[in-house]
């Protein structure tokens, strides 16, 4: 191992932990969105995260920095939380959590493209090979496991015609979300480099909360959601957003946006695993093989392994 590679090792544990946490977010978002709707689900997720993180930020004495840089940090919140969370919440009403997590794995492709064009961060051949290999594994996994929600064939023809378009819109919403993630990562690296991860994570959730407050109030469900939906939102807000974004912005600082975004290659593996544990789904050898391909691609694209 060369000396250039050794500093990369400490962030590996955070990389895997973040993938495990974000893998569970699709399950929690699905449980919440069914009862809350897309906009209220996204708004509550970021507001819970902001409420969880803000006291910690103030205790660390980061309030003055937040006041100085609030505009840039709040914009990151819109790009990296508000818009993507609404998009995925909408998508989860019409496509499966597995397909949503697989589409989420296109983030590194957008992230690498944005970083290349904007930050002139051109990936080397090894990282390009890893990106291609990882996306190939995601595509293979999608061909076997992920899909659209089942629709009754007894439904009226007009309903079936309308429903036929919703999966396409849901897929488009997921891709819009991943594009926003890629832009936000490079924006963070360009304009917020060197800032504490707690500052960026907390401020971004506050910005997303303000952005979604009025739309969420306007579309609030008439029927009061149940306890399970509220618990799912609390988990999504505290664990999958508050804690996860602290880890995420730390990864951007230590590895760069293109590499940090490759965490999304590993998320589908965890998402499928949670489906087995909590939803009674089964793991096939095809899923295991695709998961190995995804992990190998991620290792190459992040520089953990080097192609000889």
pTM of the model as a whole = 0.80
Q: What is the mean pLDDT of residues 17-29?
A: 92
30 vs 11, higher pLDDT: 30
Instruction: Name which of 186, 247, 189, 242 is nearest 45 in CA terms.
Output: 242
Burial 108-127 (b: 16+ CB within 10 A, else e): bbbbbebbeeebebebeeeb
Beta strands in the chain (DSSP E): none
Q: What percent of the chain has pLDDT over 90?
A: 38
DSSP-assigned beta bridge partners for residue 95: 148
What tens digit of pLDDT does each residue of 275-296 get? 777 766 566 677 678 777 877 7
Q: If you average pLDDT over each of 136-150, 229-243, 283-297, which comes out highest?
A: 229-243
Instruction: Name which of 63, 61, 137 is nearest 102 in CA terms.
Output: 137
| 299 vs 265: CA distance, rounded Å | 10
Crossing angle (nearest 10°) for helices 267-279 and 285-301: 150
Q: If you average pLDDT over each of 53-57, 257-261, 283-287, 299-303, which comes out highest?
A: 53-57
| 74 vs 86: CA distance, rounded Å | 16
pLDDT band per the 50, 70, 90 thresholds, residue 6: very low
Which tokens in the block code for residue 14?
């955070």
Length of the chain: 308
29 vs 115, higher pLDDT: 29
| The pLDDT of residue 248 | 86
| 258 vs 110: CA distance, rounded Å | 9
| The pLDDT of residue 150 | 44
Neighbours of 152 (CB within 10 A): 8
Whether 40 has a pLDDT exceeding 90, the answer reads: yes
pLDDT band per the 50, 70, 90 thresholds, residue 127: confident
For 141, counting Cβ atoms within 10 Å of its Cβ (0-12 exposed, 13-18 middle, 19+ buried), the class is: buried
pLDDT band per the 50, 70, 90 thresholds, residue 152: very low
User: What DSSP string runs through 88-111?
Assistant: HHHHTTTB-HHHHHHHHTTHHHHH
| The pLDDT of residue 303 | 65
């Amino acid at each position: 191992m060369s000396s250039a590679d050794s500093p990369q090792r400490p962030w590996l544990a955070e990389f895997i932990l973040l993938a495990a946490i974000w893998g569970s977010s699709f399950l929690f978002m699905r449980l919440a969105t069914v009862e809350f709707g897309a906009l209220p689900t996204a708004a509550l997720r970021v507001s819970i995260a902001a409420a969880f993180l803000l006291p910690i930020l103030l205790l660390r004495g980061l309030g003055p920095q937040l006041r100085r840089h609030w505009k840039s940090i709040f914009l990151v919140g819109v790009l990296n939380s508000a818009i993507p969370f609404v998009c995925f919440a909408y998508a989860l009403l019409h496509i499966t959590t597995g397909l949503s997590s697989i589409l989420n794995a296109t983030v590194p492709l957008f992230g690498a493209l944005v970083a290349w064009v904007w930050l002139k961060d051109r990936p080397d051949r090894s990282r390009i090979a890893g990106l291609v290999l990882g996306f190939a594994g995601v595509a293979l996994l999608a061909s076997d496991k992920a899909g659209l929600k089942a629709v009754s064939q007894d439904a009226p023809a007009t309903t079936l015609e309308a429903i036929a378009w919703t999966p396409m819109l849901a897929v488009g919403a997921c891709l819009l979300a991943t594009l926003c993630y890629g832009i936000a990562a490079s924006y963070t690296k360009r304009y917020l480099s060197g800032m504490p991860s707690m500052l960026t994570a907390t401020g971004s959730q506050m910005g997303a909360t303000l952005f979604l407050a009025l739309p969420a109030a306007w579309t609030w469900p008439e029927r009061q959601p149940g306890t399970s939906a509220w618990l799912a939102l609390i988990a999504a807000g505290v664990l999958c957003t508050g804690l996860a974004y602290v880890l995420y912005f730390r990864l951007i600082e230590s590895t760069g946006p293109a590499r940090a975004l490759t965490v999304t290659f590993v998320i589908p593996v965890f998402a499928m695993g949670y489906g087995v544990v909590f939803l009674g789904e089964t793991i096939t050898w095809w899923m295991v093989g695709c998961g190995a391909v995804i992990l190998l691609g991620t290792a190459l694209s992040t520089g953990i392994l080097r192609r000889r």
